Amino acid sequence: MGALLTLKNISLTHQGRNILHDVSIDVGQGQIVTLIGPSGAGKTSLVRIALGLLKPSAGESWRAPKLRIGYVPQKVVINQLMPLSVHRFLETTACEESLFTDTVRQVGITHLLSQRMNNLSGGEMQRVLLAKALLNKPQLLVLDEPVQGVDVTGQAELYQLIQDLSRDLHCAVLMVSHDLHLVMSATDTVVCLNTHICCHGHPESVSAHPAYLELFGKNIEPSLALYTHHHNHVHDGCDHDHLPKIEDTDVEDKA
């Protein structure tokens, strides 16, 4: 499995504050890697470094030559006075008509093409943004909190859609999750950040783990799972006994 993205010993400081310290991750072809962690843990900053939008203070960021990346940011602000339709919004990404048709069908937004962008629900908006990212025919899909503003049922559907798209389109996924407790069961690797990597592993391996059963019991949605906790030290906001809910926006976004 060839590597598409490698971040090695990444550190980042901003105004004297350590945002990231000695973080290393790899994303290979066909992999789904999910980043989780408390607010201000450095998730969005790490994604920006991966995309080449932010330069680290130390460490190396490597992307495969001519790597095609599709990116779904946390937020897209649409002028409320602009009568921009979904069709017109998607058309700003040049592509073949057949790819356009196939993509809107795969993402399930054909019926929304005539709708105005500022009239979309949270789940509809996320699907439109996902479709736009896919029009680049990405080898790597980067999603920063792709279920933000979506209800629980919609979250499960979007996670399943992302899993299906990764498989069908043979693209890797680097995703930031907005909820520490719920992660796609199909995720190959889950990485928990708290300025540095404090835990990581495969979600499936915790299905019978005592800490998993103690915290969440046996009544867990079958399409969702927990990450594996692999450290023996205690973190503020990253230990077994006090797993926090992630807020919607990292602190570094406000920097």
Token pair in block for residue 11: 């550190």
- What pLDDT is stored for residue 44 in this prediction? 93
Interhelix angle for 122-134 vs 97-107, to 10°?
A: 150
Q: How confident is the model at residue 179 (pLDDT cuts 50, 70, 90)?
A: low
Which of 13-27, 153-167, 202-216 shows the highest mean pLDDT? 13-27
Domains of the chain: 3-68+139-254 (3.40.50.300), 76-137 (no CATH)
**For 7-43, how does the pLDDT look when each residue is reduced to its tens digit (9 = 90+)?**
999 999 999 899 999 999 999 999 999 887 777 889 9
Question: Would the pLDDT of 229 be above 60?
Answer: no
The predicted structure's pLDDT at residue 204: 63
Q: How is residue 29 written in tokens? A: 């072809």
Q: Is the pTM higher than 0.75?
A: yes
Would the pLDDT of 235 be above 60? no
